[in-house]
Each structure stands twice: as C-alpha cells, then as structure tokens.
Amino acid sequence: MKRKKISIIGAGFVGSTAAHWLAIQGLFDVVLLDIEEGPAQGKALDLSQSMAIEGVDVQIQGTKNYLDTKDSDLVVITAGSPRKEGMSRDDLLQINAKVMTSVCEQIKKFSPSAFVIVVSNPLDIMTYQAKRVLNFQKQKVIGMAGILDTARFRTFISRELNISVKDVQTMVLGGHGDTMVPVLSQTFVGGQLISTLISESRIEALVQRTKKGGGEIVKLLQKGSAYFAPSRGVLEMVQAILQDQKRILPCTVYLEGEYGYKDIYIGVPCQLGGAGVEKVIEISLTDKEKEDFQKSAQAIQQGQTLLKEICP
C-alpha cells in the first residue's frame, strides 16, 4: 500500500518531534522543511538512521525547497517565532501572521488538495489566517490545541487523585490560551463527576494551572516552549484523518452557526475522519461554561480583527 505523504513546515522542536512520532508509525513518508539551510536536512538524516534501528521503512527528507513538498496528502504547520517567557500568544500575532501567510501561499501552490493542521501560535488566529490564504474547504484546515489542553488537564487531575490518566475523561474547549474552557460538567473519573472527588478550590487550582500550562513549561525551559505533547497531539489528528478513524476530538475548527458563532476558529469537539472535520459536536454546557466560552470567543474575535488590520 502506498504510504501517505506528510510535510511538516518548521524544523524546530515541535516540527522535528512530530516528524519522529509520524515516521515511527511506519505508515507515512515525511518531508521536514525549514527556511534555514541545514537543520531540516540534518534532523531528517538523523531520524532516518533511527528508523533503521527501529526496523521501519519510510522515506524522510529534509529540505528548504517547497517543491519537495509537492502533492502532500497532509501538511503540518509549526513555523513561526516560539513563545518566550512573559509573552502572551497574542504578542506573537504580528510576528507570525506574515509567516503563516508566506507558508500557506506555498502550500496552496504545491499541495492544493492537502489537509492542513496548524500548530503555530497564536493558534486560533493563525488557523483563521491559514484558511483565509489557502481558501480551502473549512473541513480541511484545522488547528491542534484542544487535544493538548485536554491532555494537560487530564494529567493534573490524575496526579491530584493518584489514579491512571486513562480513567480521566474530560474536554477543554475555547481558545488556546488563558481563556480556554475546561468543561467541568463533562469531566469524569471512572464514571464519577469530578466535583464529587475533588474540592471546589482544588478544581479551580487545576483549571488555572491548565490555562497557564504552556507558560509554566516556557518558564521552566527558559528557552523555547512545549514540544512533546503538542507534537503527539498532531499525530492523534493525522491518524484520525488519514486512517479515517471517525474520532471525536477537541480541535480548533471554523464555525458557521454552531454554538451560536460564525466566522471564527475556536476549539470545540468534532468528528475527525477521512473528510477532515466531518461534524461539529455541540455538547451541553452549563450557564457558567457558556459564559466562559463567550469570553473566549470574544478574545479570539478581537485577535481576528487585529489580524485583518495587519494582513488586509
């Protein structure tokens, strides 16, 4: 069976780690592209040699030439300036909007039929910009955020209760940042609602830690930002799409009336399969969760307005 071709734009920590997660599956050929001469080629060569140890036969190519990405089945965008300590995701907007525009012009030229997964920050607004430039169907341009934010919340809950993370079911919606919305009414541990297991004050502490989860890692690393969990989230989405898994996952998607919003990219549950976003899932939210979701949407809309001023 012919392997699918995946191109990753940006050979930094997130891009190169995503290349590793994808290559080791043995199902996808990977092109790792970076505008700088050397890093993508070197990492691709190193990764190819690691696959020899794994006994996995896939093609891994490093390049700075978009022609090598031609006819990709799926493109992952990680390119852009990383978030630095003290910098909000919105601070990145002016820097990364032009990067996203340039990248998407090349994707449109060389892989007009590809699915596109955006990881670059500020995530929701960069995904919106990708859709503007690509002019692809909304189902094919998706942001990776909810899987990461949900993983952080699940991790903190499992540690709080000293139980397996496998037994924590939850979902984080909204924007990828300080306004994200961990949905407590849909958070269960072994079938028990979280509010029956953890005090209200401790739940709030876990929620706040989740909201600032990216910043916590940035501060600890001192240089750079998270990359293991974001890149693993990419794999989850790639498998759901290219293997037509029909997964229900929280992703950043384009709304046209769902949840009462239009012309916005925001994190909600969706069915992800062979057609990309096959369905937006509208779950029941409490009044407080609806209010928090509204605040998150308003913050994103403000960013989209600024984006249109920067990139008319």
Instruction: Give the whole-angstrom CA distance, residue 27 versus residue 157.
Output: 33
Give catalytic residues, as residue numbers: 176
DSSP category for residue 184: G
Query: Do the beta carbons of residue 64 and residue 40 sit within 8 Å?
Result: yes
Instruction: Give the whole-angstrom CA distance, residue 303 versus residue 285.
Output: 24
Nearest to 59 by CA among 76, 68, 34: 68
Instruction: Give the whole-angstrom CA distance, residue 256 versus residue 51.
Output: 43
Place of tokens 């995904």: 127
Query: Do the beta carbons of residue 150 and residue 252 sit within 8 Å?
Result: no
Ordered DSSP codes for 80-106: SPPP-TT--TGGGHHHHHHHHHHHHHH
